[in-house]
Amino acid sequence: MTPTGASKRLLMVMPYSQFVRKAAEAGFEVWAIWDPSLRERAYLDEVAEHARELLLTDFSDEEGLRTLIAATVRVHGIGHVLHLGAEDSMPPAYAEAEALGVSPNPATAIGVLNDKAAMRALLAAHGLSAVRSVSVATADEVSGALAGLPLPVVVKPARASGSRGVALIRDAADLDEWTERVTAAGLPGPYLIEEYLQGPEFSVETLSADGVHHVIGITAKHTTGAPYFVETSHVHPAPLADAERAAIHAVVIGLLDLAGYRFGPAHTEVILTDRGPRVVESQTRLGGDRIPLLIETASDYDIEAAIFRTLAGEPVEPPRPRHTASVGFFLLPAGELRSVTGLDAIRALPYVQTLHFPHSPGDDLPPTTNSFTRHGYVVVDAESPAEAADRIARVRGLLRVDVREAALAAPKGTHR
């Protein structure tokens, strides 16, 4: 189905370059809005290549962003406004789009799903995915709030992403370290304090159309464990029993229903505890960590393209995976990278889909404390999770680095 008239005119805020291309391939005329401080000119040129017009603004100026959206919608007869990028600029974008009658979602749905404290309150009000928690406005209030919860607990900024400012608090020293870290990083409140959920972790990708939520896939996550809990690999599809899969589907779809989410992708993280699945957080965008590529590798299903086909009116048809796909992250010692070998040998392996190693000799490798400070990744395909794990291990064995390790120890860990 090809969109026509105003319905074919799409304004996207913060669209990645492949989104603009895939929207155009689905029949849309695309106008794009970006903040030039967030990307290099060469990348913005890629965005502009498939857009009718690339408009630049400062995303931190919420009133300016809303004014630009309103003017673009009115001048060009835009039928839809869509934001699939980082969550920080979603609230003003969707508020203005809703006011103009061109939003696929109520702004309240976007707000509650992207705000961890609001999401937790919504679930608690309806008795779904029960988790003991409390929300406070400032970091100074966290200490007093801990008295109401048994340690350990997880504390995190309600509106941050990528594990920034997330910590497992076991004692006063952990709290001091966390307070210093979020203050230095400028991560504002509110902050969510909640019970420490234990069990295997999963990422659930959904695509919603007309308020009906379709589970596209579930990905298993593996971490370093305490104290850092940094993701080391993901496997798709997750090896789950039918009853476990059904329970995860139910809790995620229940959350999206309660939030009033109507259209688009959502990325929801779940821990399968001994009391059943518990939602950790959700975002109204696609999952990171190359999860869309894992889905495509395992199923030949392009979830990015499916968003725009769905917006054009095509029905959602969830894929059936035929293979296993896995991403393995490189967590190297912190310090100066003196040399690296093995990259060509890794690329030559027939099962390697993508290799990303953005470092060169002379670079300083940061300590890995969250998803942003890992040192690259490889994506492989396989016939089973076990074979995928073996292939990731072989790649890691081929990657040889010489690092002059930093003298200072890494900061204490984080937990998602």
Residue-range domains of the chain with CATH: 5-103 (3.40.50.20), 132-195 (3.30.1490.20), 201-322 (3.30.470.20), 325-405 (3.30.470.20)
> pLDDT at position 185, please?
84
* Residue 410 pLDDT: 43
State the helix-helix crossing angle for 303-311 and 291-299, rounded to 10 degrees. Answer: 90
Q: How far apart are CA 149 and CA 248, in angstroms?
A: 26
Cis peptide before 152 (omega within 30 of 0): yes
Q: What is the pLDDT of residue 6?
A: 73
pLDDT attached to residue 227: 60
Contact 295, 205 (CB under 8 A): yes
Q: Write down the pLDDT at residue 156.
A: 87
What pLDDT shows up at residue 412? 40
The pLDDT assigned to 149 comes to: 85
Instruction: Give the model's pLDDT for residue 91.
Output: 96
**What's residue 169's pLDDT?**
92
- The tokens 């931190």 sit on which residue? 60
Per-residue pLDDT of the chain (416 residues; tens, 9 = 90+): 677 777 899 999 999 999 999 999 999 999 999 999 999 999 999 999 999 999 999 999 999 999 999 999 999 999 999 999 999 999 999 999 999 999 999 999 999 999 999 999 999 999 999 999 999 999 999 999 988 789 999 998 888 776 777 889 999 999 998 898 888 888 888 999 999 999 999 999 999 999 999 999 999 999 887 666 788 999 999 999 999 999 999 999 999 999 999 999 999 999 999 999 999 999 999 999 999 999 999 999 999 999 999 999 999 999 999 999 999 999 999 999 999 999 999 999 999 999 999 999 999 999 988 888 999 999 999 999 999 999 999 999 999 999 998 765 444 433 33
The pLDDT score that the predictor gives to residue 228 is: 60
Query: What is the layout of strands, in order, in the sheet containing 80-83?
Result: 53-56, 29-34, 9-13, 80-83
φ and ψ at 218, to 5 degrees? -120, 130
Residues 163 and 414: beta-carbon distance below 8 Å: yes
Which two three-digit tokens encode residue 38?
A: 């967030």
Q: For every residue of the chain, which 3-state class applies, written as one string?
A: CCCCHHHHEEEEECCCHHHHHHHHHCCCEEEEEECCCCCCHHHHHHHHHCCCEEEECCCCCHHHHHHHHHHHHHHHCCCEEEECCCHHHHHHHHHHHHHHCCCCCCHHHHHHHHCHHHHHHHHHHCCCCCCCEEEECCHHHHHHHHHHCCCCEEEEECCCCCCCCCEEECCHHHHHHHHHHHHHHCCCCCEEEEECCCCCEEEEEEEEECCEEEEEEEEEEEECCCCCCCEEEEEECCCCCHHHHHHHHHHHHHHHHHHCCCCEEEEEEEEEECCEEEEEEEECCCCCCCHHHHHHHHHCCCHHHHHHHHHCCCCCCCCCCCCEEEEEECCCCCEEEEEEECHHHHHCCCCEEEEECCCCCCCEECCCCCHHHCCCEEEEEECCHHHHHHHHHHHHHHCEEEEEECCCCCCCCCCC
Going by C-alpha positions, the residue among 76, 34, 90 that lies closest to residue 265 is 90
Angle at the Cα of 370 from the Cα atoms of 366 and 376, rounded to 5 degrees: 60
